[in-house]
Chain A
Amino acid sequence: MEIKHSQFKRCDLVRISGRLDSATAPTLEERLEEITEAGRYRLVLDLSEVDFISSKGWWVLINTQKKCKRFNRGEVLLVNVQPQIRESLNLVGMGKYFRIYDDVASAVGSF
């Protein structure tokens, strides 16, 4: 898994590629914690290059969403979630915790 982080004026963009499973989820969790601990809670996660997400991966995203939405200080937006991944997310009812965009520009622009 590769993680690239860019900081914009109104939000942070995190581009993730590879697989998000029990082996890699802790690395992502650490990177996202670094961002939120710096007081940045408006996050756009580009998942277009992510081809697998297990429940351990979703929990990292959900816990980050909880943290960001606390006190209405921000939100995690997802971009380009592949169809099979989106289907598994909806099956366990977690899809409703995220707004999903088709492109990075629209997600960044929504903040």
Chain B
Amino acid sequence: MKSARRLFAGRYDSLNEIREFIAEAAQEAGLDSQGVYAIKLAVDEACCNIIDHAYGGENRGDIDCQVDVRSDGLLVTLIDQGKPFDPNKVPSPQIGKPLKEVKPRGVGLYLIKKMVDKMEYRTSAGQGNVMRLFKHKR
């Protein structure tokens, strides 16, 4: 598998299958166990954001998932046809807040950025919303 592409139904039941698809490619790209976990977590969070925010719920659209095994790591491309978002407008999570004040807003995107080496997001009328995540091999 140098490159592979699969279409998954946009629902929570698909997440485990998506993570397995990513893990297989990550291992082939030579990522270590921490790297494999990191890209799996980033992709899981990104797919949840697609289901919850782009599609506004389960079973409203597909997630097109492409993996490219490169000599220096793994590139994952996720495409959806839902509502686009501006990553710069998502608030940062409230790190350091006391327990009773902490709220979930923004944690998913923050985790994605922390887990991968590069994140790109763009939206186009022809293609939909495209998120590219790259994880370097250590």
Contacts and interface: CB of A to CB of B under 8 A. Distances in A.
Most B-side CB within 10 Å, residue of A19, A54, A62: A54
Contacts of B107: 55, 58-59, 92
Contacts of A88: 37-38, 41, 111, 115
Range of interface residues on chain A? 20 to 34
A33 to B, nearest CB: 17
Where chain B touches its partner, the secondary structure class is: helix
A79 B124 CA distance: 46
Interface string B112-130: 0011000000000000000
A58 B41 CA distance: 13
Nearest to B40: A52
Interface residues of B, number: 28
Is chain A's interface secondary structure helix, strand, loop, or mixed overall? helix
B111 A59 contact: no
A91 B19 contact: no
Interface in A24-68: 52, 54-56, 58-59, 62, 65-66
A54 B99 contact: no
Contacts of B104: 55, 59
A9 B48 CA distance: 39
B13 interface: yes
A59 B99 CA distance: 11
A19 B37 CA distance: 12
Contacts of A70: 100
A92 B12 contact: no
Contacts of A19: 16
A97 interface: yes
14 contacts: A21-B16, A21-B44, A22-B51, A23-B13, A54-B15, A54-B48, A69-B99, A83-B34, A84-B38, A88-B38, A88-B111, A91-B114, A92-B107, A92-B111
Top 3 nearest A-B pairs (CB, nearest first) are: A93-B95, A23-B12, A84-B37
